[in-house]
């Protein structure tokens, strides 16, 4: 899936990896996001196909030049879930429309869990 733009000088293509990179940057720079959460398809891609993606919790669907984005994240413990989801939606939509000039139909946020931002070396959450 590549975004194509035809003009009088030629064709501009934006690779899916570039789009995912923009999404990843927008999500990880949203206060209250700890990390992405990979799902079964990401595990299958990594195990069977040997593909390891940097932003494992991003899914993009394109239909006639209009994009739907699904983002799977782990939220920081104690943040307001509706607020973080709204901020992620706003940041992703703004980044893709302004920087990559993509038309975004929807940005769906899936909060897969919560955790403390910092963990001690023994794996226990800091209290």
pLDDT tens per residue, range 55-71:
688 999 989 889 999 99
Please give the pLDDT value at position 110.
95
Q: How far apart are CA 99 and CA 22, in angstroms?
A: 9
In the chain, which stretches have pLDDT less than 50?
Answer: 40-49, 120-121, 126-127
Tokens at residue 58, please?
Answer: 């991003």
Q: How far apart are CA 112 and CA 72, in angstroms?
A: 6
Q: Are 101 and 54 in contact (CB under 8 A)?
A: no
Please give the pLDDT value at position 11.
76
Please give the pLDDT value at position 104.
94
Q: How many CA atoms lie within 13 A of 66 on its CB side?
A: 4
Please give the pLDDT value at position 14.
82
Q: How many residues does the chain have?
A: 127
Please give the pLDDT value at position 119.
58
Closest CA to 37 of 75, 82, 87, 79: 75
**CATH of 3-115 among 3.30.70.1350, 3.40.50.620, 3.40.50.720, 3.30.360.10:** 3.30.70.1350
Please give the pLDDT value at position 17.
85
Please give the pLDDT value at position 4.
57
Please give the pLDDT value at position 90.
97
């Amino acid at each position: 899936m590549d975004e194509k733009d035809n003009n009088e000088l030629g064709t501009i293509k934006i690779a899916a990896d570039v789009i995912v990179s923009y999404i990843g940057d927008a999500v990880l720079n949203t206060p209250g996001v700890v990390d992405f959460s990979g799902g079964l398809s990401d595990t299958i891609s990594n195990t069977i196909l040997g593909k390891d993606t940097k932003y494992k919790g991003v899914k993009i669907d394109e239909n006639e030049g209009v994009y739907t984005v699904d983002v799977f994240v782990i939220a920081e413990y104690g943040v307001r879930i509706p607020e973080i989801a709204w901020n992620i939606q706003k940041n992703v939509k703004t980044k893709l429309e302004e920087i990559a000039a993509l038309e975004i139909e929807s940005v769906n946020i899936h909060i897969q869990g919560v955790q403390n931002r910092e963990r001690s070396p023994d794996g226990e959450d800091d209290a």
